[in-house]
Copies of this chain bind each other. A is one copy, B any other.
């Protein structure tokens, strides 16, 4: 591990050491951004796997661990619906000064949990920064972690007014040093955007595969799927637990986006049924022209 750069954090606790959490650990250690990394997972096998794979320096079994009193940064990379319980468990034993940030895909819900817990843990709002690295994939677990997962990836930072500029900048410098390209948004705008361009496609891909599994011969048909099928459905292999959380926690924005989509498919179906060729081509052409010119930011 490169120990030459001055570390941004001395003792980081990674809660969740799967694809994202494990990649934060690996990326930070490789670049000398942390001196020591503690890992925790609710599943003991996962924690041990992270240790064996060299993602973390040490693993802890829970909030009772002695080492927690020196932690100066916590990264949460767990399904969003576990945040409340995990924070309630760990906050009493973590130093009141430690920074906390996450890597989750929804932001309004997370800020609401933090705001609520701030009553019980005063000051929490001023040291929590929401982070959403646009990286990941359908592979899961510590073995999928990579030290370069965040290189050249966009990364959205959502911090409330209670967080000082210095604190936001410190978290940003950490992600920036791992290669991410940062931008700031407020949680509602973030959730609108990702409800439309990430959560809805996942919802549709899961639903499409599930619908075919319920169709006579659908399973056999899917075995003949080509490259189009392969790419369209790739995200349907994602974690059901993580995505059930996201669909529930960003339901308002995602279902609004789904309604717009349903209205477009109703129009397109109608055009096909009516043999309205110019209407069909108009819709397909708009989509095709846009997508041909689209490039990943």
Contacts and interface: CB of A to CB of B under 8 A. Distances in A.
Interface of A: 134-138, 153-154, 192-194, 196-198, 200-215, 217-219, 221-241, 243-244, 247-248, 251, 255, 257-258, 260-265, 268-269, 272-273, 275, 277, 280-281, 283-288, 290-292, 294, 296-297
A265 B212 CA distance: 12
B221 A197 contact: yes
Nearest to A256: B215
Given A211-B260, A226-B296, A244 B277 contact: yes
A22 B287 CA distance: 25
Copies in the complex: 2
A181 to B, nearest CB: 11
Contacts of A223: 294, 297
A280 B248 contact: yes
A68 to B, nearest CB: 31
Contacts of A222: 196-197, 290, 294
A296 B228 CA distance: 11
Contacts of A232: 201, 204-205, 231-232, 234-235
Given A201-B208, A201-B229, A206-B284, 7 more contacts: A134-B224, A201-B228, A204-B265, A210-B283, A213-B286, A231-B234, A247-B280
